[in-house]
Amino acid sequence: MRHVYINAADSWEEADEHFEQFLAVVPERRLQLAEWVAATGGPVLDRSVESLGPVNEWFIETVLDRPAPPDVEYRPAWMPPRNPDWRPNPTNPRAAPGWLYLLWEQVAVYVGDVMIEQVPGSRWVCWRAKHKGVIDNGMPVIDFGVPDRPFNAITCANGGVLRSWTHQGTGNDMDVRPAPSKIRGYFVAELARREAHFAEHPARWKVAPTGPGARRSQRTPATSP
């Protein structure tokens, strides 16, 4: 039997459970981000591509420059469980706290909202690829019509911010401030990849196979705050 990589899960059923848990908190994450941004005089969240630059800058400043908020016990369902044997090491000098994972997820929901705004018909799905080793398998991602690879809003939203926090104060080569253009750059490159795909293939929507039994549709969370 071929081994199929499934992100943070031992089966498709577990991956689907994680996905449903993520979908359930999307409206809450959207509201939390809007409240946090408003409380700190942050950027306008108008779901435009142009807003991604200011959101990226706000994310960096909030994580690296402002006092840390009270921590929470939180780890997204789409992440692997904590390694009980983990110890600080040169690659990962300190473990990210729950508040940082929560903020990352909030920004990821916003990045997903921007893509859904840009590409009508796109939606969050639990990705199922045809090939066994695809890194996106089992991840909550945005199906934006390209059948071989989705838009990974969670990866896009990271923007190198978590790595910078992990290494902040160490003085090593990774103790650097991430570029505030990373999120928008990733996003624009993904839109260009989509455009290139449809320049060579029939311009018809191909809904990603997802869900139990690889059903080909998923409900899309509401996009209003």
The answer to whether 115 and 187 have CB atoms below 8 angstroms apart is: yes
Can you tell me whether residue 143 is helix, strand or coil?
Answer: strand
* pLDDT tens digits along 200-222: 987 666 555 554 444 433 344 44
208: in domain? no
pLDDT at 223: 45
Mean of the pLDDT values across residues 16-21? 94
225: in domain? no
pLDDT at 129: 83
Confidence band of 131 (pLDDT split at 50, 70, 90): confident
pLDDT at 132: 79
Q: How many domains does the chain have?
A: 1
85: in domain? no
> Residue for token digits 């910078």?
164
* pLDDT tens digits along 57-111: 999 999 999 999 999 999 999 999 988 899 999 889 999 999 999 999 999 999 9
* φ and ψ at residue 205, rounded to 5 degrees: -70, 135
Mean of the pLDDT values across residues 143-160? 94
114: in domain? yes
pLDDT at 205: 60
Taking the model in full, what pTM does it have?
0.91
219: in domain? no
Report how far residue 209's alpha carbon sits from residue 192's, in angstroms, rounded to the nearest whole number: 23
Residue ranges making up the domain that contains 25: 12-80+98-201
189: in domain? yes
224: in domain? no
pLDDT at 40: 96
Instruction: Please compute Rg for the chain using Cα positions.
Output: 18
Position 176 pLDDT exceeds 80: yes
Nearest to 33 by CA among 120, 115, 116, 99: 99
Mean of the pLDDT values across residues 158-170? 96
pLDDT at 69: 94
109: in domain? yes
